[in-house]
Amino acid sequence: MLADDEFFEEFEIIENELADQYVHRRLSDADRGLFEKYLMQTPQQRQKLHFATALNEATIEHVRSKQEVAQFKPRPPPPVQFPAYLKIAALVIVAAGLAIALWLLLRKSEVERGMLALSQAYRNERIVESRISEINYSPLRPTRSAEPPKIDDLARSQAELLLTEAVDKSGDATSKHALGRVYLAGKQFDQARQQLEQALKLDANNAQLNSDMAAALLELGKVERTSDEVKAVNTFRQSLQHLERALELDKSLPEALFNRGLLLEQMNLSSQAEEAWKRYLQNDSTTQWADEARRNLESVQQQNRETPQQRPDD
């Protein structure tokens, strides 16, 4: 979208309109403050505003010196006007690439702002294989990539700060669940489990919460497997219990269906994992998550062809 010439033309029109309203003092005090804070940052913006001010003064002088009275002409109805603060918000978001400005202007709750920041942080790449609720899709980081993670560290810090404050203020299940997602997305699995366990004590029948708890346990089990296979198996079984509970509460919950396929693979139940991926694709066949599920299904099917006598785990 940002490469589109028409989009930039629209952007400039809105920016010029706001500058004109600022010069003519048609913005409220609050909107003037927002304009000065966000749209007078660069030399180009200040120069444009200086030009608009000079043009306005020249126009006023010209009108004062003009003696004739303009003939009345019917005017078409004015176009629909959006509040100035919304225009400022749109410009700030596009110019800065940060949704934080929009949150401030639209006064979202700390939890909502925190979750938006979390999605912003991992919009280019995710570092956890499991699917976390209320976080948009991004490709999984290659396991052995030598490049640094494509993570917006500022947005992630903002998310953790906002959601920590929300937990301190309310301590409810929603805020604890959201903070647990922050830790889970950042591979801080022990902290994620702690927050999600506390949230479940307050809201045990929340399908997404159970699914995210299962995701945290799944990822934790994968870490434990490197040093303690028995401990990992127990953690995987706990994860499966939460996934089954999530699907009891919502049989089509996409996060739980996706993570169930991942978990069954980790438990070496490839036949069951194949069925789990097929079930997921029955519910979602068009998204990027579905594309990833198909790749997982193909991998499991190949494994099943090579080891047809798979033995189920008791």
Average pLDDT over residues 90-98: 53
* pLDDT over 90 (residue 57): no
Sign of the Cα torsion 62, 64, 65, 69 reads positive
Question: Do 13 and 49 lie in a common domain?
Answer: yes
Q: Are residues 28 and 96 located together in one domain of the fold?
A: yes
18 lies in the same domain as 53: yes
The CB density around residue 252, as the number of other CB atoms within 10 Å, is 13
Most confident option among 59-73, 76-90, 208-222? 208-222
Does residue 93 share a domain with residue 133? no
Please tell me whether residues 97 and 114 are part of one structural domain.
no
Which residues constitute the domain of residue 38? 1-57+83-107
Establish if 292 belongs to a structural domain.
Answer: no
Whether residues 26 and 40 share a domain: the answer is yes
**Same domain assignment for residues 121 and 164:** yes
Residue 103 lies in a domain: yes
Q: Give the dihedral sign, CA 276/278/281/282.
A: negative
Q: So what's the pLDDT on residue 54?
A: 58
Residue 20 and residue 50 in one domain: yes
Tell me, what CATH number does 182's domain have? 1.25.40
Decide if 183 is inside a domain.
yes
Residue 273, number of CB atoms within 10 A of its CB = 26
Q: Clarify whether residues 1 and 102 are in a common domain.
A: yes
pLDDT of residue 66: 53
Q: Backbone dihedral region of 211: left (phi > 0), alpha (psi from -120 to 50 degrees) or beta?
A: alpha
Query: Average of pLDDT values for 199-214?
Result: 98
In a domain, 143, yes or no: no
Q: What is the pLDDT of residue 109?
A: 86
15-32 pLDDT, tens digit each: 566 666 666 676 666 666
Question: Is the same domain home to 1 and 103?
Answer: yes
Give 240-285 pLDDT, tens digit per residue: 999 999 999 999 999 999 999 999 999 999 999 999 999 999 999 9
Q: Tell whether the model's pLDDT for residue 136 goes beyond 60.
A: yes
> Region 61-82: what's the mean pLDDT?
54
Copy the structure tokens of residue 129.
């294989």
Confidence (pLDDT) at 144: 72
Domain assignment of residue 9, yes or no = yes
More confident residue, 75 or 294: 294
Asked if 99 contacts 28 with a C-beta cutoff of 8 angstroms, the reply is no
**Is 268 inside a domain boundary?**
no
Please state the domain count of the chain.
2
Q: What share of the chain is helix, strand, coil (3-state, %, to 5)?
A: 70, 0, 30
For residue 104, name the pLDDT band (cuts at 50, 70, 90). very low
Nearest to 22 by CA among 38, 1, 2: 38
- Do 1 and 95 belong to one domain? yes
The answer to whether residue 102 is domain-embedded is yes
**15 shares its domain with 88:** yes
Q: Is residue 46 in a domain?
A: yes
